[in-house]
């Protein structure tokens, strides 16, 4: 698989004012903006063509993945090799593409914008606000690709077990079987806790064949009046397509940067894991909490 799509067109309203004039995907977690972790995860997994589905005020994201020749030259002249190394990611062998979602009609509508980019190939969708694994060390996408190749699926989705009170924040699976890899009988977008078929929540990574676009074409507005990707997956299953789920491992945390609480937690965890400053930060936090 060589193509991936990263939707980054959301308004980030739950993170205002930090996201007033910059995308939430550009907020730093530790040393890097969130979206850089996602791009690095994808490139490590062999992806080299990445389409961002953007919205207004996403220029800083485009600049981040472009080479800043002036900065490189200045650092080179000053012999700042260590800082030049920090910019290595923009020399990674990936090609970046951008298209605008011109109306915010939902995640399903955003994915629809990738139709001509992906053509007839299967592709990955990685949501731009979720990092999988501390410092994005997860190989979940490779495990999903393995499942895709082995099982002749039309879609493979990553799932994470969440507490009961969180099911109403996610797409939730109705699995056919137990296990780390399972087939889906159904999927429901943000169910009420009492009606939830399981605790397995969509964890921001998907693989699709282009049949998703036919399903999206037939998807009517759902939760929140938006065209939901989950509803299109449901249509695929109803059409008889095989859709599989792959669970995150227990030690494979998913950092969903959806609100300030989850953002603060992710930042602290990544900062504590920082090679240079992690230990002193841990000591500092202990002094704050009086331990
Ligand atoms: C979206 C999807 C949802 C999924 C979630 C993962 O929701 O609609 O099914 O579980 O991403 O992060 P959002 O977070 O955009 O409300």
CATH number at residue 157: 3.90.550.10
Range of the domain at 157: 3-289
Give the residues surrounding ligand 1 with Cβ less than 6 Å away: 107, 127, 130, 170-171, 189, 201-202, 204, 228-230, 256, 258
Task: Assign 202 a pLDDT band (cuts: 50, 70, 90).
Answer: very high
Q: What is the mean pLDDT of residues 50-62?
A: 88
Q: What is the pLDDT of residue 140?
A: 92
CA angle, 16 as apex, 52 and 66 as ends, to 5°? 30
Domain count, the chain: 1
Q: How far is CA 242 from the centre of its chain?
A: 23
Task: Assign 39 a pLDDT band (cuts: 50, 70, 90).
Answer: very high
* pTM of structure: 0.93
Measure the CA–CA gap between 30 and 160, rounded to whole angstroms: 23
Among 172, 203, 204, which is best to mutate for testing ligand 1, by the most ligand atoms less than 8 A from CB?
204
Q: What is the pLDDT of residue 104?
A: 83
Measure the CA–CA gap between 96 and 49, rounded to whole angstroms: 6
Task: Assign 98 a pLDDT band (cuts: 50, 70, 90).
Answer: very high
Alpha carbon nearest to ligand 1 atom 12, residue: 204
Q: What is the mean pLDDT of residues 105-115?
A: 95
Percent above pLDDT 90 for the chain = 71
pLDDT per residue over 206-262, tens digit each?
999 999 999 999 999 999 999 999 999 999 999 999 999 999 998 888 999 989 999
User: Do residues 61 and 26 lie in contact, with contact meaning Cβ atoms separated by under 8 Å?
Assistant: yes
Q: What is the pLDDT of residue 90?
A: 61
Atom of ligand 1 nearest to the CA of 189: 9
Alpha carbon nearest to ligand 1 atom 5, residue: 170
Q: What is the pLDDT of residue 291?
A: 59
Residue 92 has pLDDT above 80, yes or no: no
Alpha carbon nearest to ligand 1 atom 13, residue: 170
User: In 227-269, which ranges are E strands?
Assistant: 243-247, 254-256
């Amino acid at each position: 698989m060589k193509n991936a799509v990263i939707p980054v067109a959301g308004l980030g309203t739950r993170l205002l004012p930090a996201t007033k004039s910059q995308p939430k995907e550009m907020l730093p977690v530790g040393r890097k903006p969130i979206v850089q972790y996602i791009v690095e995860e994808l490139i490590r997994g062999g992806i080299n063509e990445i389409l961002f589905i953007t919205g207004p005020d996403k220029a800083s994201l485009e600049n981040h993945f472009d080479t800043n020749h002036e900065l490189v030259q200045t650092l080179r002249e000053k012999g700042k090799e260590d800082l030049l190394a920090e910019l290595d990611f923009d020399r990674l062998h990936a090609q970046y593409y951008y298209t605008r979602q011109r109306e915010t009609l939902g995640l399903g509508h955003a994915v629809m914008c990738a139709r001509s980019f992906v053509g007839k190939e299967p592709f990955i969708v990685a949501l731009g606000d979720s990092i999988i694994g501390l410092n994005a060390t997860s190989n979940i996408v490779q495990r999903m690709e393995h499942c895709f190749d082995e099982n002749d699926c039309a879609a493979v989705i990553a799932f994470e077990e969440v507490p009961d009170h969180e099911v109403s924040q996610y797409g939730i699976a109705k699995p056919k079987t137990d296990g780390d890899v399972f087939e889906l009988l159904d999927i429901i977008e943000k169910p009420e806790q009492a009606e939830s078929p399981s605790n397995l929540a969509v964890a921001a990574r998907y693989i699709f064949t282009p049949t998703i676009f036919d399903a999206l074409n037939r998807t009517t507005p759902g939760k929140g009046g938006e065209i939901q990707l989950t509803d299109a997956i449901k249509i695929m299953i109803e059409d008889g397509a095989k859709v599989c789920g792959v669970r995150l491992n227990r030690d494979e945390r998913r950092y969903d940067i959806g609100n300030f609480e989850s953002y603060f937690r992710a930042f602290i965890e990544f900062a504590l894991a920082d090679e240079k400053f992690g230990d002193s930060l841990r000591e500092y936090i202990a002094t704050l909490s009086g331990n």
